[in-house]
Amino acid sequence: MRVVGLILLAVVVLIGAATGYFFLHYPNVAGPSQLAIDRTTDRLLRGGYLVNNVMGCRGCHSQPVADAFAGPPVPETQFGGGRAFHQGHGVPGVVYSRNITQGALREWTDGELLRAITAGVSKDGRALFPVMPYADYGTLERDDLYSVIAYLRTIPTVKNVPPPNQLDFPVNLLVRTLPHDAQFVQRPPSKEAIAYGKYMVTAAGCGHCHTRMDAQGNPVGVPFAGGREFNEPGQYLVRSANITPDNETGIGKWTREQFIARFRSNTEEDHRKMKVAPGEPNTVMPWWEFSGMTEFDLGTIYDYLRSIQPSRNAVEKFAAAR
Ligand code: HEC
Ligand code: HEC
């Protein structure tokens, strides 16, 4: 009996130590840096462009107009958070985007914001679930992120407190292992079209949506070959398109002009008027957002996508919601 008791005690102590280590060690990310970002005119312009038309912040951190094509944001909800990401988006549970308007961020330092956006750790040390592509944001240029943060400080307050997240076991624990310190790079010069286009693709999270993922949010498909599924119960089911340069199943036959025109033909306002009934095909691709990207940036994105390996993958984009 004594021996069994001792063994049991040892097991309990070991489990306790392992659990303690796990909670103390993860998220394994450096503390927030000491920063005071100048709100220069250049920063606000660049930040506004990235936040509103490139990096997806506005779409994810607002409520979408549910009956409009591609779900442009309801103006009064912009950046107020509370958009739900659930099983239908590959999240094991439900995660709500947070309020990132001025009022909600008043207590946050610039360093804490930089860490949340690029390493996935909140002000209070909580690991963020990677609905937001923070690992991608962590490989951008530091100065672009400073511009994003400078701009966030100017967004009018929206009063909204999103509900707490509910992640299923064991992801609610494993999520703590996902954050990593950012590895900032230099933005390539714009004359290096392919490298610059690749940088813009990372900033815009194209690969995040256009690559199949497993239930933990890890990419498992061929990058950019599409097929990631988004199911909005009662509304629509859409799968991301193959945007590798395959002739039959990708964008192999698209010209540069067609590609740019596909993005710029309908403005954000146009999208608000493009009504879609429940059950009709709709999409999560933020066409309204990217319609405000410059022709130059879209052109380099095309150049980069044309430079990657073509991959044959026929995707049936639209299906009935489950
Ligand atoms: C694909 C959707 C998506 C995109 C794009 C996105 N976010 Fe998020 N963001 C979220 C979700 C969801 C959370 C909450 C995650 C969690 O609680 O685990 C979040 C969390 C945050 C947080 C942490 C807030 C807190 O209270 O902990 C900040 C800050 C933030 N986002 C800012 C941004 C900025 C700035 C951008 C654009 C550069 C952006 N987000 C782009 C979905 C997104
Ligand atoms: C939030 C997820 C999401 C993001 C971010 C996203 N896409 Fe998409 N994209 C989709 C989905 C879903 C579709 C399929 C439905 C549709 O056509 O809208 C799609 C369709 C497309 C199409 C149409 C292809 C065709 O065959 O008609 C192109 C081109 C495209 N995306 C390129 C991009 C590029 C380039 C980026 C980054 C600048 C990007 N996407 C970012 C989800 C996304």
Q: Which two tokens stand for residue 75?
A: 């103006």
Residue 25 confidence (pLDDT): 87
Q: What percent of the chain has pLDDT over 90?
A: 88
Q: Is 25 a member of any domain?
A: no
Average pLDDT value for residue range 45-60? 98
284 within domain boundaries: yes
**230 within a domain of the structure (yes/no):** yes
pLDDT 10s digits, 285-313: 999 999 999 999 999 999 999 999 999 99
Q: Average pLDDT of 56-62?
A: 98
Instruction: Look at residue 168 in the predicted model and tell me its pLDDT.
Output: 95
pLDDT at position 106? 97
Residue 23 lies inside a defined structural domain of this protein: no
The residue among 161, 165, 169 whose CA lies nearest residue 86 is: 165
User: Mean of the pLDDT values across residues 22-43?
Assistant: 94
Say what the pLDDT of residue 22 is.
80
Quick one: average pLDDT of 101-117? Answer: 98
User: Is 90 exceeded by the pLDDT of residue 214?
Assistant: no
pLDDT above 80 for 217: no
- 48 lies in some domain: yes
User: Which pLDDT value is given to residue 18?
Assistant: 85
Q: Provide the domain count of the chain.
A: 1
Q: Is the CB of 206 under 6 A from ligand 1?
A: no
Q: How far is the CA of 42 from the centre of ligand 1 (A)?
A: 24
175 lines ligand 1 (CB under 6 A): no
Q: What is the pLDDT of residue 117?
A: 98
Is the pLDDT at 216 greater than 90? The verdict is: no
The answer to the question of residue 19 being in a domain is no
User: Mean pLDDT lowest for which of 5-14, 169-178, 278-287?
Assistant: 5-14
Report the pLDDT value the prediction gives residue 281, as an integer from 0 to 100: 95
Q: Indicate which atom in ligand 2 lies nearest the CA of residue 228.
A: 12
pLDDT reading at 283 higher than 80: yes
The rounded distance, in Å, linking the Cα atoms of 309 and 119 is 29
Q: What is the DSSP string of 256-305?
A: HHHHHHHHHSS-HHHHHH-B--TTS----S-HHHHTTS-HHHHHHHHHHH
**The tokens of 150 are what?**
């400078």
Distance 321 CA to ligand 1 centre (A): 26
What does pLDDT average to over the chain?
A: 95
pTM, rounded to two decimals: 0.96
**Secondary structure class of 177 (helix, strand, coil):** helix
Would the CB of 230 count as within 6 Å of ligand 1? no
Q: Whose CA is nearest to atom 29 of ligand 2?
A: 243
Closest-CA residue, ligand 1 atom 40, reads 57
Residue 17 has pLDDT above 90, yes or no: no
In the predicted model, what is the mean pLDDT of residues 57-61? 98
Q: Note the pLDDT tens digit of each residue in 78-94.
A: 999 999 999 999 999 99
Q: Is the CA virtual torsion 267, 97, 103, 126 positive or negative?
A: negative
Q: What pLDDT shows up at residue 160?
A: 98
Q: How far apart are CA 181 and CA 115, in angstroms?
A: 8
The pLDDT of residue 4: 84
Distances in Å between the alpha carbon of 180 and those of 27, 118, 164, 284? 8, 8, 23, 27
Q: Could you tell which of 83, 209, 274 is best to mutate to test the pocket of ligand 2, judged by most ligand atoms within 8 Å of the CB?
A: 209
Structural domain contains residue 70: yes
Q: The domain containing residue 260 runs over which residues?
A: 41-319
The verdict on residue 8 lying in a domain is no
Report the separation in Å between the CA atom of 61 and the middle of ligand 1, taken as the mean of its atom positions.
7
